[in-house]
Structure 1
Amino acid sequence: MENELNKQEDHNDESHIEHGGSQTLHVSGMYENWFLDYASYVILERAVPALEDGFKPVQRRIMHAMKELDDGRFNKVANIIGSTMQFHPHGDAAIGDAIVNLGQKDLLIDTQGNWGDVRTGDSAAAPRYIEARLSKLALDVVFNPKTTEWQLSYDGRKREPINLPVKFPLLLAQGVEGIAVGLATKIMPHNFVELIKGSIDILKGKEVSLYPDFPTGGQADFSNYNGGLKGGKIRVRARIEVHDNKTLLVKEIPYATTTTSLIDSIIKANDQGKIKIKKVIDNTAEHVEVEVQLGTGQSPDVAIAALYAFTDCEVSISPNACVIIDERPHFMSVNDILKVNTNNTINLLKRELEIQRAELLEKILFSSLEKIFIENRIYRKIEECETWEAVIQTIDKGLEPYKPDFYREITEEDIVRLTEIKIKRISKFDSFKADEVMKGLQDQLEEVEHHLANMIEYAISYFKDLLKKYGKGRERNTEIANFDTIQAAKVAANNAKLYVDRKEGFIGYALKKDESVEEVMECSDIDDIIVFRRDGKYMVTKIAEKLFVGKDIIHAEVYVKGDERKIYNCVYLDGKSGVSRVKRFQVLSFTRDREYDVTKGDKGSKVLYFSANPNGEAEIVGVSLSPNSKAKIKSFEYDFAELEIKGRTSQGNILTKYPVRRVTLVQEGVSTLPAVDLWFDESVGILNKDGNGKYLGKFKDEDKIIVIFDTGEYELTNFELTNRYDTRRIVVLEKFRPNKVITAVHYDTNNRAYYVKRFLIETTTMNKRFKFITDYPASRLLMATLQENPVVDISYKEGRKKSKTTEELKDYTDVMGWKALGKKLPYDTSVEAELTSEDDPVTEEQEKADAAKKKDDDVNDNVKTNQLGIF
């Protein structure tokens, strides 16, 4: 009975039942099994890469086939496809497409011929016309048969790698896309240099944050990147330049688009009336250039905004990092992938060292056996032996006294190898040379043992070597930006100045003959403007070419929404009571084009004095009363610092009940706001109060920012949050502390020599760059820092030999003037300087010391001023 039940269960498992000699198949069960098999195959064998080496199976088989073909010369891609088909059970077209995809990434494959263009969408030539070979990087980091695990190919005729021993975060460097059954993967390409530096930081115990870098360049906002996990989003924009008022040039395009698809989207937006253009021309050759000719009356800034809004000049990409681990799909962040890849590299390097150690031990062992065998003339003793067993026993007996010195037991195989030594080699045996060889092997073994005992340092050195050999020319292509913050500032900076006709009440950027609001203030036709009038009314409105906002304007400027440090100081006459009041207020929110009141709103009210202060400055004003007033004191001073900052609707404090003739400025004010903590976000090049990026310190009104550029220039700026800094050119950006010494290493073309100089900032001019290296064409800055005790690794050439030394630059030379050359370095060619010391931390003690020094300087200035008799 039990056997019958088992038979029945077997039939059910096979999804069929017998009925009188015929069978009924359960199709649902068959589909379920087949579908699961198919889904597993697509996920594991086609669409999703393995975490260990970053390859899909077809890519791994292509690399293996190319390695088998490798002789240093180029091979026809058609030939590579044929070789790959020995391992990959699919058609030649799929393999050909995968090879072209790998070749276009310009990382593992050197290409020759027309391989297409990812920027324009042009396809590659036929496989019979193009050629490829493995790159030097691929040969260095991808292959090592000694550490490779092998399996039989699909037909059992060949062996292929299960995973290639890749000693580099290749998966993140190349990126990958794949659609499987029920899931997909989309890992963005990342910057080669940043990946290596990220691995080094991981080995040093630091946290890393990776952002993609696209070969097409452009700008990208990674605010919602989410580490590359599902649910994240990347906004990528083209780089658009204003050629003139009628022409825009698209210089770089978003990732996953082509110039063809970009032009098609622009034409479509024009047809839909979303943007007005005359013509679009593709001038792409060595570099991308799409010329967009604008329609009549179209503002370039408005056109740029429309291109981003309605065309493929901005695209949204949704990453989804999915990889295969132990034959199962897993979702991981790119930061975790980098950590796993870094640890995998350490393990591979360790295995290579262990293999090398084992080989060296074997070489040392056999060299020792050979020396003993020859020097002790053991080979003579075997001449009388009549059997092979006797020969083995004689040699083994001769080696007996030395066996305790060996790291393992001597086997019969070792003895057999001794018998294979030729007489010619025995006769020419040189004991001194043998000792030298063994010493060399022993030195190598000690070096390997040292590396094994210090794997982290060895791995860091390995990554630095990769960076040195292959990092040149692989700088970041895609600019990291924050579109919500930066784009508005960029638009404002590229348009006309804001003008105002105060008397007649007109503002706009087309009033060229009228008064400029401020010489340095620029605006665009998408900016908001805040306008204050003498009658106490104010409003926020959108800028236009010419706009009437009311007569008798006393102040107008570009409005920055949410600026909490912008404080307005005001003295006004209340028309109903005749009382003059003072108030300090902010304008943090508004309804556009609605009028608000600085005064209480009574008829006859008017503003007597007004100032706008970017950092909450509080000045002292002089108040002159009417000569006919009954007041005993007809002239007095008022300090706005005594007044509390309140909301815009507050009526203010009473200044005087008597008629005021005029209010004048007596003394410029200083900020009454508390010091603000500022950070610098290097990813987007802006200052912020949100804790993003590098902490700069506490800033008061008089504080400044110092910026050192890779051009050998420095500049002092204010700390307004609207400032934008080009992080690609910045070497140092810090809070300016006058007592901090700048240390720089630079090359002077005129003297053809390298110098170290240390100097203090002696200039006080703001927003102007000063060059502190010589102005000759090829003079360049190698390194600059504000660290108190900078330590620098200096690499240089002595003949053909490359050397490195470490210098502590604080005591290398004295502090000189900022125009001095400095002290000459004793190296002439191929000098490189790398700062290895950590930045000085910004501490509360440092802030207090700065404040104390500032106070002492102010006291000294006052003493000097009083001695001169100014007061």
Structure 2
Amino acid sequence: MLNEELENENNLELDAQLEGEETIHEISSVSGLYENWFLDYASYVILERAVPALEDGFKPVQRRIMHAMKEMDDGRFNKVANVIGQTMQYHPHGDASIGDAIVNLGQKDLLIETQGNWGDVRTGDSAAAPRYIEARLTKFALDVVFNGQTTEWQLSYDGRKNEPVTLPVKFPLLLAQGVEGIAVGLSTKIMPHNFRELIKGSIDVLKGRKTTLLPDFPTGGLADFTNYNGGGRGGKIRLRATIEKIDKSLLIIRDVPYGTTTTALMDSIVKASENNKIKIKKVVDNTAAEVEIQVHIPPGISPDLTIDALYAFTDCEVSISPNTCVIIEDKPRFLNVDELLRLSTTKTVRLLERELEIRMGELEDKWHNSSLEKIFIENRIYRDIEECETWEAVLEAIDKGLEPHKPLLRREVTQDDIVRLTEIKIKRISKFDSFKADEFIKKLEDEMAEVADNLANLVRYAISYFEGLLAKYGKGKERKTQIRTFDVVSAQKVAVANQKLYVNRKDGFVGYGLKKDEFVCDCSDMDDIIAIRKDGKFMVSKISDKIFMGKDIIHVGVYNKNDEHMVYNMIYVDGKTGISFAKRFAVTSITRDKEYDLTKGEKNSKVVYLTANPNSESELVSITLQPASTARVKQFDFDFAELLIKGKGSQGNIVTKHPIKKVVQKALGESTRGGREIYYDEVIGRLNTENRGRYLGSFNTDDSILVIFKDGSYELTSFELSNHYDVPNIEVIHKFSPELVVSAVYTEGETKVTYVKRFVVETSTMGKRFAFIPETKGSKLLAASVHPEPKAEIKFQRDKKSDKETESLLLSDFIDVKGWRAMGNKLNYFKIFGVSIQKEEETEVVKPKTGTKIIKAIKVEPRIIQEQPASFFTGDHVVLEIDNLEPVLNLDVDNEQTGDLLKPVKPPKKQLNLF
């Protein structure tokens, strides 16, 4: 601050001395100079290097390349080195930047037609040297980008050439190609969009409809645009590679996310494998015309979990943050893509209007000149100049001869018009054909009327223009990127078990570095660990090499958040009263590294029995009291099945008021939560237990899922939540039962005959597809269902002259259930256009307060389905012998907490088959 004050004082003194004297140089402070220089530099980078203009969608280097190529264009290919040299007349920044920009434009396959090795955006291979590759403008570029009559020109950097300020592009080119640039203080990142969708979007803008543009990437793949935010700031796109599961040991990656390459993708997979994030045998790149990266999986590793791990730990999934920034009137502006499309379409309409106005002017000039010529020759006005001796007299004579005919003209006759008449050659006059002249003028008048009509109906004309572009250039430009909604892959859940968990129970240390202590289980280095101590307190912490979690640990294991099926059965002694309580609880949510108390919180409380049960199993335990207790019965059984499963903070039910010597497990009970309620999310193709999507049913250990694919095959899968299902290729997905009948209608490829078949699934192999229709070329599954009373709607035509008809057919009456390999019965209709079969009835789950699940089917009387126990596996249990507990006073407890017992559900006389 002091330096600034001194500098200001010195400047004031200097100004006073120079006041009244002639100023030779202006005095500026150094800080001011740097500020001005930086602003000039920042403005230059923003306007001249990094950010594209809204008017044509080009950065300056791209615009100059296109202008140079138009000047060179003769229909033949030119060496890129030559194009670079021509462009340097307009772009003073070296050949390297120009060459990179040309390759970038050429790889987008829209404006530049290429010849030679131009590299590959999928693999990251670079293009050959400019002297080896060639380029020319595409027909699309010549039609859409250039028009010298509507172009605004400026001098080039050295003043020797004219270059366009912007090119008159009549297409949303910026959105079609996409662009990325980093300037000073801001950046732009606009995604490429589909050619056909942009044209249809422009038509929608002209018709006043709302547009919703989504990017389409040249590399294909899958994309989730849930948080796209219209391409504006703060948006996010999730991109995934398409991973195909060939079998249990092989995955194939069919494409790469936009912005990455096969080389980078393979490197990320190898790195994840080296860091023990995923387990693979090897990865092989067989990319040629199509991307093909093979990921080989070792035996015993789930391919579905591996797919999730690839998305979680490698470049198979990437995120992009768009930022639509463009230059409008020499200023950067932030928009969204729909606003950009609207502005681009409006600009195109104005350009089309300008072209029509220019064309109208040309036609009017031609009509005027042709009409004057016709009048001049037909009325032989040229003879009036034979006696004229001066040029002025000639002009005056012609003007006088035209005077009677001027009312027929559309504008005044100028001296230039008269001079033009004097230049008509005698040969032309002698061969003048009045009929042809009238025809030519009539043709001009028709075209003028058409142009005038287009000017009066600009929107209609613009729509016709865009439709013409779509018809002429839209073939083969279909969408490459599939629009999906992704699930959130938890890295913690898909990480492989790359560590071993150890515990020192006495000292209270847990971690994967305690290799001399007790082994607990395999885990990953991303897991959370739960540790329950003898005093009834527990804590959840992130696993590490060694962490202190409290002395006297009685249970330690991997903690899974929101796992309602992991139930702990516990008996503890209250330190204040000496009363023993039993409780069943689940730990579904916690704060990491926070200590929780499972007892009433009294000092000297102790846990005497604890088991962890991954599938909420109950158990029967034998309790032995201290010999010194006053109880008459010193040994009795206690059944945990009589307790409700509550939260971790519940007090529990009284077991006994007397001191306990030991508790021993007598028998392991069944799961009290029943099977898992599984839902299928048809948007992302995943299973869940969170009520998202269609309810499939309650699943126990041995249950499975039947998947019928649109290619005429079926597969039995487990109900693991990590399973992946290819939604577009699935016809039916349903809980499997041996009595389930599949009804299908298909066309045999060779004979083109349509068949109906009904069968039960006789195979039991899991994870393998079986084709139930002939595998001949052209065979096609038309429809399939597992509805018990399938009704097919058949659309057919008796002959070419007849109208299309629809007929209903009850398939259970048409054909009996046969083997899954049987051909079925012929469907004797004429030409069939479509078949649809009634799908299985939708169901919804109602959860009453008792916890028993009631399935309610649409149009079906609801009945109670008997709960079936599931048995996955049991957890560890700890038996603690308590020999030195002091006897406690006998207390009268008026209201012992007993809890509500689960009432058994009576099975119905007949099981209801809803599907």
TM-score by length of 2: 0.57
- SS, match of residue 126 in structure 2: coil
Give the alignment of 1:147-546 within 5 angstroms.
147-484=150-487
CA gap 1:43/1:611 in 2 versus in 1, 3 angstroms = closer
Larger radius of gyration between Structure 1 and Structure 2: 2
Task: Give a deviation string over 1:546-603, Cα, whole Å, max 9, x none.
Answer: x9847899xxxxxxxxxxxxxxxxxxxxx99xxxxxxxxxx9x999xx9x99xxxxx9
Quote the Cα distance in structure 2 between the aligned partners of 1:36 and 1:763. 76
Which residue of structure 1 lines up, in the alignment, with residue 603 of structure 2? none
Quote the Cα distance in structure 2 between the aligned partners of 1:386 and 1:471. 65
Do the aligned partners of 2:68 and 2:83 also contact (CA within 8 Å) in 1? yes
CA gap 1:413/1:608 in 2 versus in 1, 3 angstroms = closer
Q: Which amino acid aligns with 1:815?
A: E
Task: Give a deviation string over 1:504-533, Cα, whole Å, max 9, x none.
Answer: xxxxxxxxxxxxxxxxxxxxxx99999899
Q: Which amino acid aligns with 2:460?
A: E
CA gap 1:401/1:187 in 2 versus in 1, 3 angstroms = same
Quote the Cα distance in structure 2 between the aligned partners of 1:248 and 1:527. 30
- SS, match of residue 281 in structure 2: strand
CA gap 1:611/1:321 in 2 versus in 1, 3 angstroms = closer
Do the aligned partners of 1:275 and 1:306 also contact (CA within 8 Å) in 2? yes
Do the aligned partners of 1:382 and 1:391 also contact (CA within 8 Å) in 2? yes
Q: Which amino acid aligns with 1:416?
A: V
Equivalent position to 2:49, from 41, 46, 49? 46
- SS, match of residue 223 in structure 1: coil
Quote the Cα distance in structure 2 between the aligned partners of 1:68 and 1:116. 26
Q: Which runs of 5+ in 2 are unaligned?
A: 1-10, 495-559, 568-583, 589-612, 620-637, 640-644, 654-666, 696-708, 713-721, 732-748, 762-775, 783-800, 809-826, 834-857, 860-915
Aligned-residue offset at 1:407: 2.2
Quote the Cα distance in structure 2 between the aligned partners of 1:21 and 1:68. 47
CA gap 1:31/1:267 in 2 versus in 1, 3 angstroms = same
Quote the Cα distance in structure 1 between the aligned partners of 2:109 and 2:26. 58
Which residue of structure 1 lines up, in the alignment, with residue 882 of structure 2? none
Task: Give a deviation string over 1:806-833, Cα, whole Å, max 9, x none.
Answer: xxxxx99353559866799xxxxxxxxx
Do the aligned partners of 1:189 and 1:213 also contact (CA within 8 Å) in 2? yes
- SS, match of residue 113 in structure 2: strand
Do the aligned partners of 2:84 and 2:98 also contact (CA within 8 Å) in 1? yes
Q: Which amino acid aligns with 1:352?
A: E
Q: Which amino acid aligns with 1:813?
A: D
Quote the Cα distance in structure 2 between the aligned partners of 1:290 and 1:724. 19
CA gap 1:608/1:217 in 2 versus in 1, 3 angstroms = closer
Do the aligned partners of 2:618 and 2:671 also contact (CA within 8 Å) in 1? no
Do the aligned partners of 1:16 and 1:26 also contact (CA within 8 Å) in 2? no
Quote the Cα distance in structure 1 between the aligned partners of 2:281 and 2:677. 45
Quote the Cα distance in structure 1 between the aligned partners of 2:615 and 2:671. 17
Quote the Cα distance in structure 2 between the aligned partners of 1:200 and 1:63. 27
Q: Which amino acid aligns with 2:273?
A: N
Do the aligned partners of 1:110 and 1:133 also contact (CA within 8 Å) in 2? yes
Which residue of structure 2 lines up, in the alignment, with residue 830 of structure 1? none
Aligned-residue offset at 1:153: 0.8
- SS, match of residue 294 in structure 2: strand
Aligned-residue offset at 1:406: 2.1
Aligned-residue offset at 1:404: 2.2
Q: Which amino acid aligns with 2:197?
A: E
Is it true that 1:813 corresponds to 2:816 in the alignment?
A: no
Do the aligned partners of 1:263 and 1:280 also contact (CA within 8 Å) in 2? yes
Which residue of structure 2 lines up, in the alignment, with residue 569 of structure 1? none
Is it true that 1:93 corresponds to 2:96 in the alignment?
A: yes
Do the aligned partners of 2:617 and 2:669 also contact (CA within 8 Å) in 1? no
TM-score by length of 1: 0.59
Aligned-residue offset at 1:231: 1.3
CA gap 1:316/1:410 in 2 versus in 1, 3 angstroms = same
CA gap 1:369/1:312 in 2 versus in 1, 3 angstroms = same
Aligned-residue offset at 1:610: 9.9
Which residue of structure 2 lines up, in the alignment, with residue 831 of structure 1? none
Do the aligned partners of 1:175 and 1:190 also contact (CA within 8 Å) in 2? yes
- SS, match of residue 173 in structure 1: helix
Equivalent position to 2:126, from 114, 117, 123? 123
Do the aligned partners of 1:531 and 1:538 also contact (CA within 8 Å) in 2? no
Aligned-residue offset at 1:243: 2.2
Q: How many residues align?
A: 603
CA gap 1:45/1:225 in 2 versus in 1, 3 angstroms = same
Quote the Cα distance in structure 2 between the aligned partners of 1:50 and 1:26. 35
Aligned-residue offset at 1:108: 0.4
Q: Which amino acid aligns with 1:382?
A: I
Task: Give a deviation string over 1:146-180, Cα, whole Å, max 9, x none.
Answer: 11111111111110100000010000110111111
Do the aligned partners of 1:531 and 1:540 also contact (CA within 8 Å) in 2? no
Aligned-residue offset at 1:97: 0.6
Aligned-residue offset at 1:439: 1.3
Aligned-residue offset at 1:244: 2.1
Aligned-residue offset at 1:725: 11
Equivalent position to 1:102, from 86, 94, 105? 105
Give the alignment of 1:48-87 within 5 angstroms.
48-87=51-90
Q: CA RMSD in A?
A: 5.5
Do the aligned partners of 2:277 and 2:313 also contact (CA within 8 Å) in 1? yes
Q: Which amino acid aligns with 1:466?
A: L
Quote the Cα distance in structure 2 between the aligned partners of 1:274 and 1:823. 52
CA gap 1:726/1:549 in 2 versus in 1, 3 angstroms = closer
Quote the Cα distance in structure 2 between the aligned partners of 1:779 and 1:612. 35
Structure 1, 71-80 or 459-468: larger mean CA deviation: 459-468
Give the alignment of 1:805-844 within 5 angstroms.
813=803, 815-817=805-807
Is it true that 1:34 corresponds to 2:34 in the alignment?
A: no
Which residue of structure 2 lines up, in the alignment, with residue 630 of structure 1? none
Task: Give a deviation string over 1:319-354, Cα, whole Å, max 9, x none.
Answer: 111100001111110110010001111111111111
Q: Which amino acid aligns with 2:803?
A: T
Aligned-residue offset at 1:384: 1.6
Quote the Cα distance in structure 2 between the aligned partners of 1:338 and 1:821. 48
Do the aligned partners of 2:176 and 2:192 also contact (CA within 8 Å) in 1? yes
Aligned-residue offset at 1:234: 1.0
Aligned-residue offset at 1:420: 1.2
- SS, match of residue 102 in structure 1: helix
Do the aligned partners of 1:530 and 1:538 also contact (CA within 8 Å) in 2? no
Which residue of structure 1 lines up, in the alignment, with residue 522 of structure 2? none
- SS, match of residue 271 in structure 2: helix
Do the aligned partners of 1:382 and 1:395 also contact (CA within 8 Å) in 2? yes
Q: Which amino acid aligns with 1:336?
A: E
Equivalent position to 1:114, from 96, 99, 117? 117
Of all paired residues, the percent bearing the same amino acid is 62
